[in-house]
């Protein structure tokens, strides 16, 4: 992995934060694998790891101990964001990595002027070099997550297909409404993403039905299955399309990447229907 200044891609990146205050729902898995799959489809993608746990960083094979800079230096010390960008081994994929040094941000940012816009400033300095910026948020609704929402144009909310899946969504919607009202009126819901789906288990089917019933029109067609290869890939520092490209997990995230691109094309009026476009059935 190497630090590298990127060249302008000729477009301005669409910035999407992946958010859910619950842990273990597939936020980091989604950021890493959606980013890799968008890269495989020819898009230049920057991942911003805004979680002090740094799992997106290690999941993309970046060794935190060898880093010269991280998001903490950008957000807390004023370092130019481009100085913290690292090229990953995955084609078309870069990352602003995270370390435990970001953990004090919730406290240190409280006294900072425009504290909710620190990450936005970093994103604005980088958007010209990429097609997509994907932000991995921490499992909370604190100041770091608010920064992720203020910096984004869209939000993806992963929801695991298990008991209590909808728990906390009301609070998350309230935070989204607050951010729209006070700091980022253009923030939109990209979609709810059903994760860890197991067609053999009734609760998975029931949760999927409940989510679609409660949030009609706001749920991705693509469903991410519970998949062994998807679970193994982070321990090898790879996205699943590099670790096991034929796996169901790799196919599902490829389908999600295509759906994200399709939705963007529909918004811009450039969408042309393709016979291979469609989501994974789980």
Alpha helices per DSSP H over the chain = 27-40, 55-59, 71-77, 105-108, 118-124, 143-150, 169-182, 202-214, 228-232, 240-243, 248-268
Which residues have a Cβ under 8 Å from the Cβ of 27 and sit 6 or more positions away?
18, 19, 20, 51, 136, 137, 139, 158
Only one residue has tokens 């302008």, namely 8
Give me the pLDDT at residue 280, please: 46
Query: What's the rounded mean pLDDT across residues 142-157?
Result: 95
Residue 234 contacts residue 60 (beta carbons within 8 Å)? no
Measured at the CA of 74, the angle between CA 72 and CA 77, to 5 degrees, comes to: 80
Give me the pLDDT at residue 5, please: 46
DSSP assigned state of 42: T
Only one residue has tokens 């949030």, namely 215
Higher local confidence (pLDDT), 269 or 231: 231
Which residues have a Cβ under 8 Å from the Cβ of 273 and sit 6 or more positions away?
none
Task: Return the SS3 of 264.
Answer: helix
> How many angstroms separate the CA atoms of 214 and 207, rounded?
10
Token couple for 245? 């490209």
pLDDT exceeds cutoff 90 at 183: yes
| CATH 3.60.20.30 assigned to 2-267 | no
Give me the pLDDT at residue 4, please: 53
At 96, which helix (H) or strand (E)?
Answer: strand 93-96
pLDDT digits (tens, 9 = 90+) for 27-46: 999 999 999 999 999 999 99
pLDDT digits (tens, 9 = 90+) for 209-220: 999 999 999 999
Facing residues of 158 across strands? 193
Only one residue has tokens 């898009």, namely 43
Q: Which of 3-12, 26-35, 92-101, 226-235 has the lowest mean pLDDT?
A: 3-12
> How many angstroms separate the CA atoms of 164 and 161, rounded?
9
Residue 120 contacts residue 147 (beta carbons within 8 Å)? yes
Token couple for 89? 């081994």
Residue 282's pLDDT band (cuts 50, 70, 90): very low
Tell me the backbone φ, ψ of residue 124, rounded to 5 degrees. -60, -30
pLDDT digits (tens, 9 = 90+) for 90-145: 999 999 999 999 999 888 888 777 788 999 999 999 988 999 999 999 998 899 99
Give me the pLDDT at residue 107, please: 86
């Amino acid at each position: 992995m190497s630090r590298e200044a990127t060249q302008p891609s000729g477009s301005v990146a669409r910035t999407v934060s992946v958010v859910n205050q619950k842990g273990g729902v597939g936020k980091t898995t989604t950021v890493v694998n959606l980013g890799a799959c968008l890269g495989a489809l020819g898009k230049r993608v920057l991942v911003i790891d805004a979680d002090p746990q740094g799992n997106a960083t290690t999941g993309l094979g970046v060794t935190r101990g060898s880093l010269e800079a991280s998001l903490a230096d950008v957000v807390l010390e004023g370092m130019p964001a481009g100085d913290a960008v690292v090229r990953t081994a995955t084609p078309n994929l870069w990352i602003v990595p995270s370390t435990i040094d970001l953990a004090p941000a919730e406290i240190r940012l409280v006294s900072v002027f425009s504290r909710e816009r620190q990450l936005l400033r970093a994103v604005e300095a980088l958007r010209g070099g990429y097609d997509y910026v994907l932000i991995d948020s921490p499992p909370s609704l604190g100041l770091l997550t608010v920064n992720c929402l203020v910096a984004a144009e869209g939000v993806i909310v992963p929801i695991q297909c298990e008991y209590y899946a909808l728990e906390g969504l009301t609070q998350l919607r309230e935070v989204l409404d607050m951010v729209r009202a006070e700091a980022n009126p253009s923030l939109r819901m990209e979609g709810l993403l059903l994760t860890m789906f197991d067609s053999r288990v009734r609760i998975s089917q029931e949760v999927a039905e409940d989510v679609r019933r409660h949030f009609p029109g706001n749920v991705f067609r693509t469903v991410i299955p519970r998949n062994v290869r998807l679970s193994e890939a982070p321990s090898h520092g790879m996205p699943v399309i590099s670790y096991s490209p034929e796996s169901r997990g790799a196919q599902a995230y490829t389908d999600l990447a295509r759906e994200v691109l399709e939705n963007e094309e529909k918004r811009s009026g450039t969408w042309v229907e393709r016979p291979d476009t469609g989501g994974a059935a789980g």
